[in-house]
Chains A and B, each alone.
Chain A
Amino acid sequence: MLDELEKGRWPSFVSDMKQEAAAREKTKVDLQAPRESIDDLLGLLELTYQDKVVHWKHGGIVGVFGYGGGVIGRYCDQPDQFPGVRDFHTLRVNQPGNKFYSTEYLRQLCDLWERRGSGITNMHGSTGDIILLGTTTPQLEEIFYELTHNLHQDLGGSGSNLRTPSDCLGMARCEYACYDTTALCYNLTMEYQDELHRPAFPYKFKFKFDGCPNGCVASIARADMSIIGTWRDDIRIDQAAVKAYVGGEFKPNGGAHSGRDWGTFDIQKEVIDLCPTHCMSWNGKKLVIDNKECNRCMHCINVMPRALRIGLDRGASILFGAKAPILEGAQMSTLTIPFVKVEEPYDEIKAIIEKVWDYWAEEGRNRERLGELMQRQGFQKFLEVLGLKPDPRMIREPRSNPYVFWKEEDVPGGWERDIQEFRKKHKK
């Protein structure tokens, strides 16, 4: 069945794995993990395709001394038939900011992994880590030693801890970046190494850093704490460049829609009428933006990147609570801090993080994500913990039900009432 997946134009993982299996057969490298591990992996997968169930046993607790996470243990449930994948553990290796590599580094990593692992990888895991896919228990400490001593490279996170943070490529190659995502990602990764390597939380916790609301690392959906770049002054307009778009000299959206004939660029139809807050106008000569009504959705900038640029007073919004469905339903992060300056050494952001962790570590139930704790105890409680005042920007709409809790101190007379006093005026 797997052979079928070598057909077609999309790069075939089956062909790649067969290539690696063939290379392992021939290589003169002194392999430390089973030579036939990829053959057996293909065999096990073929079996899985046939009977449509996984053939890995439940769970697996392995690791390296000093750390409580970073390695995901895995054992095959057909070890006699497929001894090459009897134990087939995954190492998470903390990727560099925005995943820029030198070939020298990748070669070193490949040499190490060819010798001590299966030779196959996942570039990259969804959280961001380099995934080294499949090795045996005795190799774990060996790999860790070489990673740290020769490659100056640490493991990533797993378990009830801070997972490996990741970022969009930000200022390295994007003119929309409102802060240096890579610098902040790196700084916080280093600051919280302990929280990353030694699980101490009720459950997992993820940071992600998007340089602007386009969300190229999807922080709003995939991080308990989403840091999304924004600005609070005016969009910068180059009127001559706007005219060049209108005149057809510049292609809209950087030419992203060139694959189909969408007609000539119509600024009214494609920008002005699509602005979600209707705060733009175009009179044939001049583009005007009523910036106090702009919600910085990025649309106009995305369509005319050579004419419109992000403002100069930049920072980020911080949102909390995104998670997948289990247990209480999927959530995206909720806007909690509308604007914060992002400046080294990031003390303000660190203070926020530590308040959130103190609260969640104290109040969170076993395996309760932050987003669920926010639901259980209420957003108001969360704001109190952070020392923030409620702000209309934190809600999409006010509540519709009237089940409003009041604090006793806010109600004249408090809660202590005497029924006799009431009865003096109201007969039974």
Chain B
Amino acid sequence: MPTINLAGKTYEVDEDGFLQELDKWSEDFASAYAKEEGIDGALTDEHWKVINYLRDYYAKFGIAPMIRKLCKETGFDLKKIYELFPSGPAKGACKLAGLAKPTGCV
């Protein structure tokens, strides 16, 4: 299993860099990881709004929300989401939020 070093801590991740032990997630993890997903500088309130929403939804329902739901609940359209997370809601936002890797017919 590959590992990744972020801000002095080691995390187990899969080949795509998705966190394997979901309980190890912390805000530091997300902040330190942001650069890899093409985010310059510190995570803003807007980033956190998306990340927190994803984490809440995942905690409640055990899956990631549909994109449309994410946009509706955060008030960000898809264009804005990609401005915040250049690699997109699945590869970018879900990864930083420490959700399990999206699966299916990608």
Contacts and interface: CB of A to CB of B under 8 A. Distances in A.
Nearest to B16: A61
A254 interface: no
Contacts of A67: 88
A247 B16 CA distance: 68
Contact of A73 (B16, B38, B63, B104): B16
B47 interface: no
Contacts of A62: 16, 91
Interface string A65-82: 111110011010000000
Given A199-B67, A200-B67, A159 B106 contact: yes
B86 A66 contact: yes
Contact of A367 (B88, B89, B104): B104
Interface in A192-233: 194, 198-202, 204
Given A87-B15, A198-B82, A199-B67, A59 B103 contact: yes
A275 B86 CA distance: 57
A61 B91 contact: yes
B7 interface: no
Contacts of A60: 15-16, 106
A159 B94 CA distance: 15
Interface in A82-134: 87
B32 interface: no
A37 interface: no
A58 to B, nearest CB: 7
Contacts of B33: none
Chain A interface helix/strand/loop/mixed: loop
Contact of A68 (B38, B90, B101): B90
A72 B103 CA distance: 12
A334 interface: no
Contacts of B42: none
B68 A61 contact: no
A160 to B, nearest CB: 7
A75 B88 contact: no
Contact of B101 (A59, A65, A72): A59
Interface in A368-412: none
B86 A65 contact: yes
B102 interface: yes
A366 interface: yes
A362 B71 CA distance: 12
Interface in B19-53: 38
A63 B88 CA distance: 9
For A87, A159, A202, A204, which residue has the most chain B Cβ atoms within 10 angstroms?
Answer: A159
Interface residues of B, number: 25
A61 B102 CA distance: 8
Given A58-B103, A60-B16, A160 B82 contact: no
Contacts of A63: 87-88, 91
Nearest to B104: A367
Contacts of B103: 58-59
Interface in B48-75: 63, 66-68, 71
Contacts of B82: 66, 68, 198
B78 A200 contact: yes
Contacts of B66: 202, 366
Contacts of B86: 65-66
B67 A160 contact: yes
Contact of B68 (A72, A87, A361): A361
A68 B105 contact: no
A59 B90 CA distance: 13
A79 to B, nearest CB: 9
A202 B103 CA distance: 14
B15 A65 contact: no
B18 interface: yes
A194 B88 CA distance: 12
Nearest to B103: A59
Interface of A: 57-69, 72-73, 75, 87, 158-160, 194, 198-202, 204, 361-362, 366-367
The 9 closest A-B pairs by CB, nearest first: A68-B88, A65-B86, A61-B16, A65-B38, A75-B15, A61-B91, A159-B106, A59-B103, A200-B67
Given A65-B38, A366-B63, 18 more contacts: A57-B15, A59-B103, A61-B91, A63-B88, A63-B91, A65-B86, A66-B82, A68-B87, A73-B15, A73-B16, A73-B106, A158-B105, A159-B90, A199-B90, A200-B67, A204-B105, A362-B68, A367-B104
24 contacts: A58-B103, A59-B101, A59-B106, A61-B18, A61-B90, A65-B87, A67-B88, A68-B82, A68-B88, A68-B90, A68-B91, A69-B106, A73-B16, A159-B105, A160-B67, A194-B79, A198-B88, A199-B90, A200-B68, A200-B71, A201-B67, A202-B66, A202-B68, A367-B104
